[in-house]
Amino acid sequence: MKLTEEIRNFKAEAISEAGAAELREAARDARVWAVAATSAAKSGHPAGALSSMDIYITLLGAANVSPELADSPERDRIVVSHGHTSAGFYAALAEYGFFPAHEMAANFRRAGSPYQGHVERCVPGVDWGTGNLGQGLAAGVGFALAARARGSNYHTWVVMGDGEQVKGQLAEARRIAMKEKLTNLTAIVDWNDIQISGRLEEVMPADIPALWAADGWRVIKCRGHDCCEIYKALKEAKNSAVPAVVLCKTTMGKGVSFMEDVADYHGKPAAGEKLEQALKELGSDVSLFDALLEERKGAMPKGRSVTHEKPVLCTGRPHTYTKEDKKDNRWAFGRTLAEVGELNYKKPGSTPILVFDCDLAGSVRVDGFAKACPENFIEAGIQEHATATAAGAASAAGVVSVWADFGVFGSDEVYNQQRLNDINRAGVKTVLTHTGLDVGEDGMTHQCIDYVGLFANTYGWNVVVPADPNQTDRATRWMLAQPGNICLAMGRSPLPVILDEKGEPFYGGDYEFRDGKIDLLRGGKDAVVLAMGHLAGRAVEAAEALAEEGISVKVLHCATPLTMDKERLFAEVGDMPLVSCEDHNAQTGIGNIAAAAFARAGKALKIKSMGVTRYGLSGRNTDVLADMGLCAEGIAAAVREILK
């Protein structure tokens, strides 16, 4: 389009008459493809797509985006939070040449096609896959924070529906943006006043302008089908001295008479005569649709491949803690994080490290980093949902994004946000402290005994559970420089350094952290104990006690339960009885992974899975653990029992 020369990067004061005509024509054409796409798929959300269309066409014309920039780190970011308007956003992208409109329309929601039901990153021009409502603004916050940390001038735009305005996570994101003064972020609401079940007032009343204003945002209103007004409002918002939201008054189903202002076509495409009428009203005809149906039988188009890049970081030299040191793992993590942070802070060529906290900096030991790298520390308050998504999106925009929190907040509370980070192939490093019964006095609600069981449901997350401060130091350095989503899980209490049979630190010196590796802590020939995390030290203690009784126990530790080297496990265990132990639900942690692996390999042996079998007590961590049998004596008893 010629138009882009006029308004691209908001150059023009206002849109010219010729420009407006061009945008209107583009919007009309895109409406044809959006309607046709949903009808070809017999599935999708035509009315919402039509509602947001003029916003999409204007924004894509004026923002710093283009097919050539689709993978550029300096492009503006656009998050479509109401991902079900995919047909509309795809059609608008096609108008700007991101891909052919007919290809999109013919293959929309076709199994194997990149043009999926909700916007996904495999489509060029889509920066964040959405579909679960209310989460887009938090992703936008992440992109905006990444821009600032990288010293990049790109702007982030978040387009939302109105029904999702009541979702709590959205308000959390609004507050983080305000606190961080993210004037490089603009929110846009398609306010058509209809959601699936009817008018907003009937479904869940909310004073949308008041909600934004209560959090300090500047509220700008405009007519959402008038490109000139939209442009003016977006430009004003972009230049605002405080974060601004543009509320666009729109009509659901705009452009197709029988879809206008009715909830019925929210999730129902037009068919038959209705489709003919819709295409006619939009200035097209059904021959276009017939051609699409033909193309839909043809070759499958390919999408963009999305990967998470390995950061460029200097990770420094590990410390070796000796047996005299009695530090908790989180202390070691915090020290290492602060060191690596300082080594790379504002260093040209280094990927910036952003650290997020939810009002627990001292407990989760990110206070050292905050001191060393103050501009890269984000205090997000008690707002875990928005933080999880923001940290995820930031990691997809060229920073190393670390979020540390108590286990139940960083995994249980935000499981779905972490699942969506997985789907988006983000690379957030989630650091869980206070996991397990080791949380002690805080009791049931704070017992994070399911993080392995949760992340096991995803396809990309890795979980790292170090055994002692030495392994924590090395695992932290390893994690920070890895691509992809990784969870580092630690307990609360000080731990003895694990020693090898010569009395030297097992994970000290030249020990290098390796994903999937099983560590042989002690040799033995009567039984095997497979431990995870802080149970490793207790397992060694049990083995030493059993040795005095003449029972020879091999002790294995694996810090990465989800990627554990199964062949090595089979080789180490042989046909000895196996006791697994972990400060984690016994049904869903490393014991379960090991048991299922043996079963699937067709191997029978005696197995006992020790772990948490009910919610634990509230008291001293050693008492709470011992009550569950998770102590050296408990492990020794289990070994004696399995050898009977």
Which of the residues 204 through 223 are near a copy of itself (CB under 8 A)? 204-207, 210-211, 213-216
Q: Which of 69, 178, 291, 306 binds a copy of itself (CB under 8 A)?
A: 178
Smallest gap, in angstroms, from Cβ of residue 353 to a copy of itself? Answer: 20
- With respect to a copy of itself, which residue has the nearer C-beta, 337 or 420? 420
Site for a copy of itself in 580-619 (CB under 8 A): 585, 587-588, 592, 595-596, 598-600, 602-609, 613-615, 617-619
Residues numbered 232-271 forming contacts with a copy of itself, rule: CB under 8 A: 267
Smallest separation (angstroms) from a copy of itself to the CB of 311? 25
How many residues belong to the site for a copy of itself (CB under 8 A)? Answer: 112
Interaction mask 287-316, a copy of itself, x per CB under 8 A: ------------------------------
Q: Which amino acid is at 214?
A: A
* 389: its two tokens: 């998504």
Q: Is 629 left (phi over 0), alpha (psi -120 to 50) or beta?
A: left
Stretch of 91-99, 331-339, 376-384, 390-398 lying at the interface with a copy of itself (CB under 8 A): 376-384
Closer of 256 and 423 to a copy of itself (Cβ): 423
555 or 586: whose CB is closer to a copy of itself? 586
- The residue within the footprint of a copy of itself, chosen from 53, 166, 259, 404 (CB under 8 A), is 166
How far, in Å, are 355, 370, 394 from residue 340 at the CA level? 12, 12, 19
Q: Of residues 384-423, which lie at the interface with a copy of itself (CB under 8 A)? A: 385-386, 408-409, 412-416, 419-420, 423
Separation CA 135–CA 147 (nearest Å):
19
Give the SS3 label for residue 403. strand
- Which of positions 448-467 make contact with a copy of itself (CB under 8 A)? 449-450, 453-454, 456-457, 459
Rounded CA-CA distance 374/380 in Å is 14
d(CA 33, CA 31): 5
Residue 356 Cβ vs a copy of itself, minimum distance, rounded to whole Å: 12
CB 622 within 8 A of CB 631: yes
In the set 379, 526, 544, 565, which binds a copy of itself (CB under 8 A)? 379
- Which DSSP string corresponds to 409-437? IIIITTHHHHHHHHHTT---EEEEESBSG
Burial of 397 (0-12, 13-18, 19+ CB in 10 A): buried
Give the closest residue to 279 by CA, choosing from 300, 252, 306, 259: 259
DSSP state of 499: B
> What is the C-alpha separation between 57 and 48, in angstroms, rounded?
14
- In the bound complex, what is the minimum distance in angstroms from residue 161's beta carbon to a copy of itself? 9
CA dist., res. 181 & res. 185, Å (int): 9
Determine the interface stretch with a copy of itself among 53-61, 65-73, 189-197, 496-504 (rule: CB under 8 A). Answer: 189-197
Nearer to a copy of itself, 482 or 592 (CB): 592
Nearer to a copy of itself, 374 or 550 (CB): 374
- 640 φ/ψ angles, rounded to the nearest 5 degrees: -60, -45
Regarding 516 and contact with a copy of itself (CB under 8 A), the answer is no
State the DSSP code for 408: I
Identified binder of a copy of itself from the candidate list 110, 249, 274, 304, rule CB under 8 A: 110
CA distance 461 to 429: 10
